[in-house]
Amino acid sequence: MSETIPVPENTGNRPPEKTVLRTGSRSESPVTGIANGEPMVVARNLVKQFGKLYAVNKLSMTINAGETFGLIGPNGSGKTTLIRMLVGLIRPASGTIQIMGKRIPSARISLYLGYMTQLSALYLDLTARENMQFFCNIYGLRGREQRQRISEMLERVALADRANDVVGTFSGGMRQRLSLACALVHHPRLAVLDEPTVGVDPELRRSFWDYFAQLNQEGVTIIVSTHHLDEASRCTRLGLMRNGALLAQDAPQELLHQSGKDNMEDAFLHFARQQELPLRPPERS
Ligand SMILES: Nc1ncnc2c1ncn2[C@@H]1O[C@H](COP(=O)(O)OP(=O)(O)O)[C@@H](O)[C@H]1O
Ligand SMILES: [Mg+2]
């Protein structure tokens, strides 16, 4: 497959221009070279087993540039396993993933991804600033650009006044905010956020989602997993996940419409029951 991204020679780290991209517009993003609405992530028939357990089972999905795609499902439904395959951390037993037209895993594409893990990847004995410096160094962000970007991100997640405190003294919510700042410090084109709002109080949850909306407006495609069904309406499209498979994937309103329900919880149960229905009557012996 030919390359579809005009990758600058030495970096994936330059700040994206402040171009506002709207979902559905066909204009080409200056950030990825991929037009909004065109495929950013294409996964085909992904399978991942742990022993006899199929954590992800023949899952296919396409996520388009400019989307905020929500992976919604209960604990154990396979969200983290899917995400770890998407970011290239674990290999599927079978199936393929392409991001921006390149087969995953790809060291080059990694520069364009921001990944917030479900469990904090922070060093508790380092300060907030030192944690951010660590992530900047991984992504090759140095010198004045690094200092500026760290200040900007700490400001954005309201931790500027705690920059020089060790993370071990932080509350859970503060750690979540810092994890988010670390995942996004290098201006990723695709942000993959694994349950960023788990254990976060309602006010902070809302401010996270406001921030995701802002990022999305700035041209960042977002994949975000959650088991909070009330967060579904903040996504442009949803994948409803259960038992390692997608029960349905569509815009929230469309899923409500298809299920004939007025809330996502009932819609989820509707699609879950459909999955359980036998496809044809059992054969008589
Ligand atoms: N490294 C692992 N070894 C064995 N089983 C695992 C491992 N990772 C995940 N699983 C199992 O795979 C299933 C899906 O887990 P996970 O992807 O973490 O789901 P979710 O993120 O939706 O909670 C669960 O049953 C979990 O116990
Ligand atoms: Mg998980």
Structure-token match 């700040």, residue found: 15
Q: What is the 76 CA–ligand 1 centroid distance (Å)?
A: 6
pLDDT for position 120: 79
Shortest-distance Cα residue to atom 11 of ligand 1: 55
Residues of the chain with pLDDT > 90, as a percent, come to 73
pTM of the predicted protein model: 0.86
Nearest CA to ligand 1 atom 24: 76
Q: How far is the CA of 55 from the centre of ligand 1 (A)?
A: 6
Choose which residue among 53, 118, 227 to substitute to test ligand 1 binding: the one with the highest number of ligand atoms within 8 A of its C-beta: 53
- Reported as a pLDDT band with limits 50, 70 and 90, residue 24 is very low
Give the position, in ligand 1's atom list, of the atom nearest the Cα of 83.
Answer: 17
CA of 73 to the centre of ligand 2 (A): 9
Q: What is the DSSP string of the chain?
A: ----S---SS-S-SPPP-----TT--PBPTTTS-BTTSEEEEEEEEEEEETTEEEEEEEEEEEETT-EEEEE--TTSSHHHHHHHHTTSS--SEEEEEETTEESS-HHHHTTEEEE-SS----TTSBHHHHHHHHHHHTT--HHHHHHHHHHHHHHTT-GGGTTSBGGGS-HHHHHHHHHHHHHTT--SEEEEESTTTT--HHHHHHHHHHHHHHHHTT-EEEEEES-GGGGGGSSEEEEEETTEEEEEE-HHHHHHHHT-SSHHHHHHHHHHHHHS-SSPPPP-
- Cα(226) to ligand 1 centroid in Å equals 15
C-beta of residue 10 within 8 angstroms of C-beta of residue 38 = no
Distance 80 CA to ligand 1 centre (A): 7
Asked if pLDDT for residue 198 goes beyond 80, the answer is yes
Q: Which atom of ligand 1 is nearest to the CA of 194?
A: 21
CB-defined site of ligand 1, < 6 Å = 50, 53, 55, 73, 75-81
Q: How far apart are CA 215 and CA 222, in angstroms?
A: 8
Residue 276 Cα distances to 33, 49, 169, 238, 270, angstroms: 41, 21, 47, 20, 10
Using one digit for the tens of pLDDT, what is the confidence trace for 222-275?
999 998 888 999 999 999 999 999 999 999 999 999 999 999 999 999 999 988
Q: What structural domains does the chain harbor? A: 22-112+189-285 (3.40.50.300), 120-187 (no CATH)
Nearest to 245 by CA among 58, 86, 109: 58
Q: Cα-atom radius of gyration of the chain, to the nearest Å?
A: 19
User: Given the CA of residue 82, which atom of ligand 1 is nearest to it?
Assistant: 17
